[in-house]
A and B are shown apart, each in its own frame.
Chain A
Amino acid sequence: MSRYWVQRLGFALLGLIALAVVAPILVVIGTIVVEGMGAISWEFITAMPFDGMKQGGIFPALVGTLLLTLGTALVAIPIGVGGTIYLAEYARDTWVTRCIRLAIVNLSGIPSIVYGLFGLGMFVLFLRMGTSILAGALTLGIMTLPVIIITAEEALRAVPTEFRTVSASLGGTRWQGIRYIILPQALPGIITGIILGLLRAAGETAPILFTVAAFFLPRLPQSPFDPTMALPYHLYVISTQVPGMPLQIQHGTALVLLALVLSMNLVATIIRSYFRRRRQW
């Protein structure tokens, strides 16, 4: 067989494989949309559940997830962005810096359930926060740190070095250069990374299993020390622990979670491409 035929077949095969990777994604989303659409209504989203979750809405779970995501942001953004600025702008190439990078690689590889164990051991028990939004947000926050740091560092390094030199030559200190030029230019990339990190935190179940989540809590949390329902945990329980749960409600819950996560993904993508086009370098 001629080499060019081999190539044509080969390319086609690769294309099919790529299709095999991508098509199921559409199937997953499609199935959940089709099966769950029927359950979606204004009431579903804004009402409280009753009858053991089999009726009513998922409002407290939605609120819980939003609160947890907010909490994660409050923890992960300052530490993450601060740490990244240190790594990209201040750190020298010493063994300590290499340890920090190793630590970040490590943090990013720790299984989410192990974060859950840590959260249980440290926040819920040792620091006596109990099963609470606070414990959950702290756990999720630490889990989200590496994601933010890795994307933010890439964004900072992408800004041309020349700007730093010019700023210094005009009498700028290192922080002034960062604050007035480097950080604003890297901001779109950093924000994209933050959003991607937060959407992962919003969808995680394992870290919140023992640190935050309550199953049937038909009232909204009153303080950061309260436990709360959350969408991912809710979906898990109603699909595996509640006999007789209407299938449509299960799919509907999955749909809401999926919609939340995918819309954040979309926002991040839009931000990224919009600012890439407007770059002045």
Chain B
Amino acid sequence: MLAQRQAEAAGADWREFVIEALIRVLGFSTIGFVLLIFLFLLREGVPSFYKVPLSNLFGISWYPTFGLFGTLPLLLGSVLVTVTAILIAMPLGIATAVFVREVAPNWAREILKPMIEVLAGIPSVVLGFFGMHVVAPLIRETLGTPTGLTVFTGGLLLAYMALPTIISVAEDALDATPKSYKDAGLAMGATQWQTIWRVVVPAARSGITTAVMLGMGRAIGETMAVMMVTGNAARMPLSLDSLFKPARTMTATIAAEMGEVAQGSIHYHALFGIGIILFILTFLINVAAAATIFKKQRRGGLR
């Protein structure tokens, strides 16, 4: 009996070893993919750095047909749209997260949470479609701008796309504050409202910051919706009224022009170069967000 079991055990051991090795490989594959992506971006994008003089690349005019590859208007376009989006989404998101976690009655919560999940699931092309046909004309009519395809329209749409991320991460942060904090606040005679804004939210500060950062990363990387509503004019958005004029983001540029370029041309490499910038930007934002989470976990206690 014992000998039979030992023999079976040996066979099973060998299978176990193979399965574990396979799983280990799959686990490490994620690092492989990140490196692969970065590598390919570099491979196709770096040529632009030595085929195009730097003064051109960082210039203020993006007219590929004339050999001008100034990425500044695109960069600023992305930044402006993203900042607009975050300025709208941050208060909306935090307020909604607080409402859902701390204030809403159960029946309201049961409706709100699925709806936010629905929002997260709506494809960006569908939102862009809606923005194009409904939101842009609305903005044009109410604000009297020559066209409804503006930075502001894009920012508004992006805000809604970033909201589910911001709300869910902020909710987690609020959820993680120890109940004792709330109890202490209430025990000292504060109202629930005061406790929320003076005790709970400040305690969840770093989690909320992470939420906003992740939302920002989402916004910068968004392509279709912005492409359909920001008008795609690669101009330098320098003055404040640029908010209500068209602009172009880095993502939209790649999407709009890649289909037309010849492989291996300078334009082609330049578009990959923009991809590198995007990769690095979102990498930095997400690493910063993750670092905040890790640091909190290491300290223990609050998330």
Contacts and interface: CB of A to CB of B under 8 A. Distances in A.
A146 B96 CA distance: 26
Contacts of B134: 31
A18 B118 contact: no
Interface in A228-256: 232-233, 235-236, 239-240, 247, 250, 254
Interface stretch (A52-60, A80-88, A160-168, A216-224): A80-88
Interface string B117-130: 11101111111111
Which of B112, B117, B125, B251 lies at the interface centre, i.e. has the most chain A CB atoms within 10 A of its CB? B125
Nearest to B167: A21
A79 interface: yes
Contacts of A109: 214, 217-218, 221, 282-283, 285-286
Contacts of A206: 223-224, 251, 255
A205 interface: yes
Contact of B103 (A4, A15, A264): A15
B221 A199 contact: no
A6 B23 contact: no
B40 interface: yes
B31 A99 contact: yes
B228 A258 contact: no
Interface string B17-34: 001101110111111011
B217 A145 contact: no
Contacts of A106: 34, 283, 286-287
B258 A210 contact: yes
B123 A257 contact: yes
Contacts of A142: 33, 37
A129 interface: no
B30 A145 contact: yes
B20 A261 contact: no
Q: Is the interface of A mostly helix, strand, loop or mixed?
A: helix
Given A103-B33, A104-B30, A17 B99 contact: yes
Contacts of A28: 122, 126-127, 130
Nearest to B22: A82
B191 to A, nearest CB: 5
B75 interface: no
Given A79-B26, A99-B31, A145-B30, A232 B95 contact: no
Interface residues of A, number: 90
B98 interface: yes
A239 B193 CA distance: 47
B194 interface: yes
Interface residues of B, number: 89
B43 interface: yes
Nearest to B32: A103
B106 to A, nearest CB: 14
A122 interface: yes
Interface in A111-134: 111-118, 120-122, 125-126
B183 interface: no
Contacts of A31: 130, 134
B19 A7 contact: no
A257 B23 contact: no
Contacts of A15: 99, 103-104, 108
Interface in B169-219: 191-194, 214, 217-218
B228 A11 contact: no
B254 interface: yes
Interface stretch (B53-61, B63-71, B233-241, B270-278): B270-278
A32 B99 contact: no
27 contacts: A11-B99, A14-B95, A15-B104, A15-B108, A22-B111, A26-B115, A78-B26, A86-B24, A101-B290, A105-B290, A110-B221, A110-B282, A113-B251, A114-B221, A114-B279, A118-B37, A122-B36, A176-B16, A196-B121, A204-B123, A206-B255, A236-B129, A236-B224, A254-B130, A258-B123, A264-B121, A265-B121
Interface of A: 3-4, 6-7, 10-11, 13-15, 17-18, 20-22, 24-26, 28-29, 31-32, 78-79, 82-83, 85-87, 90-91, 98-118, 120-122, 125-126, 142, 145-146, 149, 173-176, 196, 199-200, 202-206, 209-210, 232-233, 235-236, 239-240, 247, 250, 254, 257-258, 261-262, 264-265, 269
Given A100-B30, A102-B287, A254-B130, 16 more contacts: A7-B193, A21-B93, A21-B116, A79-B29, A82-B22, A82-B27, A109-B282, A111-B251, A117-B40, A118-B37, A120-B258, A121-B43, A203-B122, A206-B251, A247-B133, A264-B121
